[in-house]
Amino acid sequence: MTHTREPQERRTFVVHVEDEPGVLNRVASLFRRRAYNIDSLNVARTHEKGVSRMTIVCMAGASEARRIEANLYKLVDVLRVDEVTRQSRIEHVLCLVKVAVGADKRPELLQLLEVFGARTIDVGPASLVAEMTGEVDAVDRFLSVLEPYGILEVAQTGAVAMSCDAERPCLHAREAETRAA
**CATH value at residue 60:** 3.30.70.260
- Whether 151 maps to a domain, the answer reads yes
Structural domains of the chain, count? 2
For the chain, give the number of residues.
181
Gap between the Cα atoms of 113 and 146, Å rounded? 9
Q: Is 112 helix (H, G, I), strand (E, B) or coil?
A: helix
Q: Let me know the angle formed at the C-alpha of 157 by 126 and 108, rounded to the nearest 5 degrees.
A: 30
Same domain, 73 and 119: no
Domain hosting residue 106, numbered range: 90-160
pLDDT at position 5 over 80:
no
Question: How much of the chain, in percent, has pLDDT values that exceed 70?
Answer: 89
Give the rounded percent of residues in the chain with a pLDDT score beyond 90.
Answer: 78
CA distance 34 to 38: 11
Statement to judge: residues 77 and 129 lie in one domain? no
For residue 127, what pLDDT band results from cuts at 50, 70 and 90? Answer: very high
Considering the domain architecture, whether residues 25 and 82 belong to the same structural domain is answered as yes
What pLDDT is attached to residue 87?
86
What does pTM read for this prediction?
0.79
Are 106 and 137 part of one and the same domain?
Answer: yes
68 and 105 both lie in a single domain: no
Q: Are residues 75 and 104 in the same domain?
A: no
Rounded average pLDDT over 100-124 = 95
**CA nearest 160: which of 42, 27, 50, 24?**
42
